[in-house]
Chains A and B, each alone.
Chain A
Amino acid sequence: MLFPTRLVFALAALLCATATASAQDVAVKIGVLNDMSGIYADIGGAGSVAAAKMAVEDFNPAAHHMKVEVISGDHQNKPDVGANIARQWYDVDHVDVIVDVPTSSVALAVNEVTREKNKVFLGSGPASSDLTGPKCSPNSIQWTYDTWMLANGTGKAVVKTGGDTWFFLTADYAFGHALERDTSAVIVANGGKVLGHVLAPLGTSDFSSFLLQAQASKAKIIGLANAGGDTVNAIKQGAEFGITAGGQHFAGLLVFINDIEALGLKTAQGLVLTETWYWDMTPANRAFTKRWQVASSRPGKFPSMLPAGVYSSVIHYLKAVDALRSASDGKAVVAKMKEMPTDDPLFGKGYIRADGRKIHPAYLFEVKKPEESKYPGDDYKLRATIPADEAFRPLKDGHCPLVSG
């Protein structure tokens, strides 16, 4: 009877070996692709990489028999550079998922490469709502915000509170035009009027001439359909030219907390803006911020909603991969992510729609007066919460081929 016993042991050992191998098998490589050195480096950049690493740490891959690696790249805000890095990551470096990718033009390029290679793209950074509209893809999810949501949040709220005549100061490129278009639609739909606009070239340092035109229009609200340094310069010079003192108000259509810190509360006070995440809203957000400041070595700085979106999207992605026990089929992973409800400490409970739109509430904030701010980063007060089902574009209006068939 010696022989069969040996055989049984051998078989048992073999079974054990395969069992452990399959349990440890799931290796995942996450690529954080964003602007590491240019104008958007502060809103995402290394801060988003730190957030992705924190998400991996909190997910605890070892407990789920997974091995997760995070790498990063700099797309320099150039679509060709971004698409090249994406190709190399997918083809050579075996990256399974690309996250963040601010700058809509780069995101649209990465969106196409990801679809072609059947991988996963989790856009925390890009603004263009086309990613869940005509350009939607079964391999992509747009996580944090989009132009429709910004226009709807800020535009509607401002018109409802009496700001019914608008003049736009628009950045003269695709993003600015889209933002102005979406916001104008919201204003008109809510009974407001657009009195005019001026197209300012990207990277204009002096806005005084445009501001005088806005002043002459007598519009109650000057809508800033621009971003980053352009927004900061326009608001800074607006204060100087007595725009706000003269009774006109700015509405920032894409403003991050980093812009507010760059302006200082004295200049930025009273500005109305929409975001989906603010570091000082909940104890969980504050705890995240504290950890993030250490992890990204940015003491005294505050995370924008982009790193928060990266954290949240990476957690949910890893849960889906764990459920499937494989990251190889991008479409299947995204389908699983849409099937599972989302739940994480930063964005709470939510879900992902068929068109790839992550759904959560949005918040309308007003920038505090300097005397209202108690500590560094205490910049916003909440004016309204836009419930999750109203914050984003209705599914039927997006013209996403995945939905209309």
Chain B
Amino acid sequence: MFEIFGIPSQALFGQLLLGLINGSFYALLSLGLAVIFGMLNIINFAHGAQYMMGAFAAYLLLQYLGLNYWLALVIAPIVIGAIGIVIERLFLQHLRKLDPLYGLLLTFGLALVIEGLFRNAYGSSGQPYQVPPALQGGRNLGFMFLPNYRAWVIALSVVVCFATWFAIERTRLGSYLRAATENPVLVRAFGINVPRMVTLTYGFGVALAALAGVMAAPIYNVSPQMGSDLIIVVFAVVVIGGMGSIMGAILTGFALGIVEGLTKVFYPEASNTVIFVIMAIVLLIRPAGLFGRRA
């Protein structure tokens, strides 16, 4: 066994893999943010709260309706996405012509309200949620013990991320969407219902957050503040990747997960600041982000 920087290579490979797993959560969440910002020009600060609602939906479905993890994986994103659509219809559509700052303030307020309601109803210490039986246990990879559930998380998020990228960048529907962001009036002239498309896009972005929430429920503490712990990091990821760049958000998410994982080995105390240090450097050198287009 050889060593790299005084760390046994086995431990290092293990940490790389773990970083990739955490990165898959960052990627899923920043993807949703990037889709919403790219298509609606709204900085969705309620994303963390919507992720939390996804995790709670999984818990509530199990607790009150007896529906297991697999059903929650389908139902929770649909339900929370529908709530997102209602939010878009009620509030966000009125802000479309204003500065993005208004959307940011509104969604930030919404996030506080949602968190407060959940804290009031369920308390702050969290709810139990188990790993589904089919994914319990794990396998020994030689250099680390990989829980089956983590392998599933990484596989599912890679599939979802690239499917989303493909849908937006490579299909006809995606091209309508992108065109509608560039010039909504012209696209409407071709007979396409732009407002409805925008609403559905917001719902889809929210559903992505809820999906990440369901995936997080078995491994993270399901509590009302779980989203606000994560959302700041995810925003840093989006800023580093470049606001509105789909592929940028995905790749940066995975890459920063790895960077954070390695920091946890070499200097654990800095592991929750390293992403912000990178963000500061990126903003100095490339203000539009690594993959961003200059406005």
A residues near B (Cβ < 8 Å) are: 37-43, 172, 198-201, 203-206, 208-210, 212-213, 215-216, 228-229, 232-233, 236-237, 240-242, 246, 256, 258-259, 261-264, 266-267, 298, 301
| Interface set, chain B 206-221, CB cutoff 8 A to A | 218-221
Instruction: Report A-chain residues with C-beta under 8 Å of the C-beta of B145.
Output: 215, 241-242, 246
Instruction: Indicate if B155 sits at the interface (CB-CB under 8 A).
Output: no
| Interface set, chain B 271-287, CB cutoff 8 A to A | 271-273
**Number of residue pairs A-B, CB distance < 8 angstroms:** 117
Cβ-defined contact, B219 with A240, below 8 A: yes
Instruction: Report A-chain residues with C-beta under 8 Å of the C-beta of B195.
Output: none
Among the listed A209, A228, A241, which residue makes an inter-chain contact with B261, where contact means beta carbons less than 8 Å apart? A209
Cβ-defined contact, B221 with A216, below 8 A: no
Instruction: Report B-chain residues with C-beta under 8 Å of the C-beta of A241.
Output: 138, 145, 147
Cβ-defined contact, B268 with A200, below 8 A: yes
Instruction: Indicate if B177 sits at the interface (CB-CB under 8 A).
Output: no
Between-chain CB contacts (< 8 Å), 7 pairs: A38-B225, A41-B119, A209-B265, A236-B220, A240-B219, A262-B221, A267-B128
Instruction: Report A-chain residues with C-beta under 8 Å of the C-beta of B92.
Output: none
Contact with A along B221-261 (1 / 0, CB 8 A): 11101100110000000000000000000000000000001
Which interface residue of B11, B149, B226, B268 has the most chain A CB atoms within 10 A?
B268
Instruction: Report A-chain residues with C-beta under 8 Å of the C-beta of B125.
Output: 39, 42-43, 228-229, 232, 256, 258-259, 261-262
Among the listed B22, B147, B218, which residue makes an inter-chain contact with A242, where contact means beta carbons less than 8 Å apart? B147
Give B220's nearest chain A residue, CB to CB.
Answer: A205
Complex CA gap A259/B126 in Å reads: 8
Instruction: Report A-chain residues with C-beta under 8 Å of the C-beta of B271.
Output: 200-201, 204, 209
Complex CA gap A117/B251 in Å reads: 58
12 more A-B residue pairs beyond the given contacts A213-B11, A240-B219, A261-B128, with a C-beta to C-beta distance below 8 A = A39-B125, A41-B119, A172-B269, A198-B268, A209-B18, A209-B268, A212-B18, A232-B221, A233-B221, A240-B149, A242-B145, A262-B222
Contact with A along B105-138 (1 / 0, CB 8 A): 0000000000010010001111111110000011
Complex CA gap A37/B129 in Å reads: 23
Interface residues on B, range: 35 or more
Among the listed A40, A43, A201, A213, which residue makes an inter-chain contact with B265, where contact means beta carbons less than 8 Å apart? A213
Instruction: Report B-chain residues with C-beta under 8 Å of the C-beta of A213.
Output: 11, 265
Given the interface pairs A203-B272, A240-B131, the reply to whether A212 lies near B22 with Cβ below 8 Å is: no
Which interface residue of A43, A203, A208 has the most chain B CB atoms within 10 A?
A208
Complex CA gap A209/B131 in Å reads: 19
Instruction: Indicate if B14 sits at the interface (CB-CB under 8 A).
Output: yes
| Interface set, chain B 1-39, CB cutoff 8 A to A | 11, 14-15, 18-19, 21-22
Instruction: Indicate if B264 sits at the interface (CB-CB under 8 A).
Output: yes
Among the listed A204, A212, A215, A261, which residue makes an inter-chain contact with B15, where contact means beta carbons less than 8 Å apart? A212
3 shortest interchain CB distances as A-B pairs: A264-B128, A262-B126, A209-B264
B residues near A (Cβ < 8 Å) are: 11, 14-15, 18-19, 21-22, 116, 119, 123-131, 137-138, 144-145, 147, 149-150, 218-223, 225-226, 229-230, 261, 264-265, 268-269, 271-273
Give B137's nearest chain A residue, CB to CB.
Answer: A242
Given the interface pairs A237-B219, A264-B130, the reply to whether A209 lies near B226 with Cβ below 8 Å is: no
Give A240's nearest chain B residue, CB to CB.
Answer: B147
Given the interface pairs A201-B272, A205-B220, A240-B147, the reply to whether A210 lies near B128 with Cβ below 8 Å is: no
Cβ-defined contact, B264 with A210, below 8 A: yes
Distance in angstroms from A207 CB to nearest chain B CB is 9
Complex CA gap A232/B116 in Å reads: 21
Instruction: Report A-chain residues with C-beta under 8 Å of the C-beta of B226.
Output: 205
Complex CA gap A172/B223 in Å reads: 22
Give A170's nearest chain B residue, CB to CB.
Answer: B268
Cβ-defined contact, B272 with A233, below 8 A: no
Complex CA gap A198/B265 in Å reads: 9
Cβ-defined contact, B225 with A39, below 8 A: yes
Instruction: Report B-chain residues with C-beta under 8 Å of the C-beta of A201.
Output: 268-269, 271-273
Instruction: Report A-chain residues with C-beta under 8 Å of the C-beta of B15.
Output: 209, 212
Distance in angstroms from B264 CB to nearest chain A CB is 4
Instruction: Report A-chain residues with C-beta under 8 Å of the C-beta of B268.
Output: 172, 198-201, 209-210
Given the interface pairs A39-B225, A208-B21, A209-B264, the reply to whether A233 lies near B220 with Cβ below 8 Å is: yes
Cβ-defined contact, A203 with B229, below 8 A: yes
Instruction: Report B-chain residues with C-beta under 8 Å of the C-beta of A215.
Output: 145
Give B221's nearest chain A residue, CB to CB.
Answer: A232
Complex CA gap A241/B15 in Å reads: 13
Distance in angstroms from B253 CB to nearest chain A CB is 14
Instruction: Report B-chain residues with C-beta under 8 Å of the C-beta of A206.
Output: 18, 22, 220
Among the listed A41, A198, A242, which residue makes an inter-chain contact with B123, where contact means beta carbons less than 8 Å apart? A41
Given the interface pairs A38-B124, A229-B221, A262-B127, the reply to whether A242 lies near B138 with Cβ below 8 Å is: yes
